[in-house]
């Protein structure tokens, strides 16, 4: 009898153990649900992501070819937290800061607030989405640079000779772009006979093009027109829905100008379906008294709209660039968001590839400085800043 009871007890323990191995804990995603969400992301990247071939050339990563490896990693996750971490890591292999898993509540709330005034997305208030971001474990790290907003700085490097504007972001810390532009404009009006103005955007992760264009308008005598092209893989349902809801005027990819076709990445005509002409004009401020040289300080963190500013300065000769090659992906439209059915997680994906007027892909080649500085770290003391030292050298000014 005792042996029979012992045998039944062993069987019971075995059943419980097997059950715990094969079935998720209450509220956790099953293996099948995680795989289904991964497959959806994979197909979305395969059909709509613009930089797969760029990533191959620059980083030697065949993201699509890694599917089996990624799938194995997803299947091996033991809980939702590990699944989120693996999905974030897998998407990071694309090496594009506009493409990511929204893996924390603060980031989710940021995008929810940003898109609350338009009708681009109908899932940001879904119960499953809200519940997911309310439940995410806070152990998942949030990059400090994303949340920390630094102060705008307006001051002279050399009194009455060299001015300095530090732009930590292409957005106001206090939420008022107009207020920032007024302050910057007032400072520019004091420059008068200064020899030079330094605009420092090192570490600037982006924001709004309106911000830097408002500054440029205060520093040019004549209007400046910029031409470029955004190309889309609009055969993707996710991308097409996005370009449609934003009423973007598209043309067939075959209609790109000949010089653009010649210089564009080889996959442009094969894998992209449509393009948008992105021409725009920055109006001048006729009251400008400053006639000195302008320098832009850049580093590898420059991205998105700060990259657009770097491209503008390089292409138009508005400023001399000093520092390191930038991070890229300027000139593009906002990334597109899409929801994962089972987890309620949101993925952000670069929506298109930007080509300049000559067809050069910014994400592939970035913006190279006119003068490269190996140690270009920004310092609080101007005298120890290698980029500022270079400006003073070019201007023949002794600090």
CA distances from 360 to 184, 195, 333, 347 (A): 32, 33, 17, 27
Residue 225 contacts residue 279 (beta carbons within 8 Å): yes
pLDDT, tens digit (0-9, with 9 covering 90-100), for 209-225: 999 999 999 999 999 99
pLDDT, tens digit (0-9, with 9 covering 90-100), for 45-72: 999 999 999 999 999 999 999 999 999 9
- The pLDDT score that the predictor gives to residue 15 is 44
Q: How far apart are CA 386 and CA 242, in angstroms?
A: 44
Q: How far apart are CA 288 and CA 300, in angstroms?
A: 31
Q: Which pLDDT band, with edges at 50, 70 and 90, does 23 fall under?
A: very low
User: Which residue bears the tokens 């050399």?
Assistant: 158
Mean pLDDT estimate for the chain:
91
Q: Residue ranges of the domains in the chain? A: 151-227+278-331+369-394
Q: How far apart are CA 184 and CA 87, in angstroms?
A: 42
- The pLDDT score that the predictor gives to residue 283 is 94
* pLDDT at 1 exceeding the cut of 60: no
- The pLDDT score that the predictor gives to residue 26 is 57
* pLDDT at 145 exceeding the cut of 70: no
Phi and psi for 277 in degrees, rounded to 5?
A: -80, 125
Query: Apex CA 43: angle with CA 39 and CA 47, to 5°?
Result: 175
Among residues of the chain, what percentage have pLDDT more than 70? 90
pLDDT, tens digit (0-9, with 9 covering 90-100), for 167-179: 999 999 887 899 9
Structure tokens at 105: 């509540």
- Summarize the confidence of residues 371-380 as an average pLDDT: 94
The helix or strand, by DSSP H or E, that contains position 280, with its residue range, turns out to be strand 280-282
> Is 4 in a helix, a strand, or coil?
helix
Q: How far apart are CA 323 and CA 128, in angstroms?
A: 45
> Is 163 in a helix, a strand, or coil?
strand
* pLDDT at 140 exceeding the cut of 80: no
With CA atoms as reference, report the closest residue to 40 among 3, 74, 11, 15. 74
- Summarize the confidence of residues 363-387 as an average pLDDT: 95
CA distances from 8 to 14, 15, 16, 238, 362 (A): 10, 11, 12, 54, 68
Report the 3 state secondary structure along 217-267. CCCCCCCEEECEEEEECCCCHHHHHHHHHCCCCCEEHHHCCHHHHHHCCCC
Superfamily the domain 151-227+278-331+369-394 falls into = 2-enoyl-CoA Hydratase; Chain A, domain 1 (3.90.226.10)
* pLDDT at 20 exceeding the cut of 70: no
- Summarize the confidence of residues 162-190 as an average pLDDT: 93
Q: How far apart are CA 19 and CA 220, in angstroms?
A: 70
- Summarize the confidence of residues 15-38 as an average pLDDT: 70
- One-character DSSP codes across 104-154: SHHHHHHHHHHTTTSSS-S-TT-HHHHHHHHH--TTS---HHHH--PPPEE
DSSP state of 25: P
Q: Is 25 exposed, middle or buried (0-12, 13-18, 19+ CB in 10 A)?
A: exposed
* pLDDT at 230 exceeding the cut of 80: yes
* pLDDT at 6 exceeding the cut of 60: no
DSSP state of 393: H
Structure tokens at 32: 């099948």
> Is 5 in a helix, a strand, or coil?
helix
pLDDT, tens digit (0-9, with 9 covering 90-100), for 70-116: 999 999 999 999 999 999 999 999 999 999 999 999 999 999 999 98
């Amino acid at each position: 009898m005792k042996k029979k009871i012992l045998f039944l007890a062993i069987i019971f323990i075995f059943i419980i153990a097997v059950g715990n191995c094969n079935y998720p804990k209450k509220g956790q995603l099953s293996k099948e649900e995680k795989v289904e969400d991964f497959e959806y992301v994979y197909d979305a990247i395969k059909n709509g992501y613009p930089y797969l071939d760029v990533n191959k050339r620059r980083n030697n990563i065949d993201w699509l070819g890694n599917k089996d490896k990624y799938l194995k990693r997803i299947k091996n996750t033991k809980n939702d937290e590990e699944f989120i971490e693996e999905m974030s890591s897998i998407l990071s292999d694309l090496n594009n800061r506009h493409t990511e898993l929204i893996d924390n509540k603060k980031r989710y709330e940021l995008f929810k607030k940003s898109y609350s005034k338009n009708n681009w997305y109908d899932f940001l208030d879904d119960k499953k989405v809200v519940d997911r971001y309310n439940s995410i474990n806070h152990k998942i790290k949030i990059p400090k640079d994303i949340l920390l907003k630094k102060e705008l700085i307006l001051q002279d490097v050399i009194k009455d000779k060299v001015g300095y504007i530090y732009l930590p972001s292409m957005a106001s810390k206090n939420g008022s772009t107009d207020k920032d532009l007024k302050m910057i404009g007032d400072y520019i009006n004091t420059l008068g006979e200064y020899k030079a103005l330094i605009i420092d955007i090192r570490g600037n992760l982006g924001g709004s093009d309106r911000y830097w264009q408002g500054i440029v308008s205060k520093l040019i005598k004549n209007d400046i027109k910029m031409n470029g092209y955004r190309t889309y893989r609009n055969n993707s349902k996710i991308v097409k829905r996005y370009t449609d809801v934003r009423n973007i005027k598209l043309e067939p990819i075959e209609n790109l100008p000949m010089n653009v076709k010649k210089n564009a990445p080889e996959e442009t005509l094969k894998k992209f379906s449509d393009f948008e002409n992105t021409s725009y004009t920055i109006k001048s401020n006729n009251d400008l008294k400053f006639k000195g040289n302008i320098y832009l300080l850049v580093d590898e963190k420059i991205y998105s709209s700060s990259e657009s500013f770097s491209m503008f300065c390089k292409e138009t000769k508005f400023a001399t660039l000093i520092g390191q090659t930038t991070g890229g992906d300027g000139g593009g439209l906002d990334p597109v968001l899409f929801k994962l059915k089972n987890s309620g997680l949101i993925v952000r994906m670069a929506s298109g590839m930007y080509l300049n007027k000559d067809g050069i892909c910014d994400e592939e080649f970035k913006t190279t400085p006119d003068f490269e500085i190996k140690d270009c770290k920004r310092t609080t003391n101007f005298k120890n800043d290698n980029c500022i030292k270079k400006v003073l050298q070019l201007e023949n000014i002794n600090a």
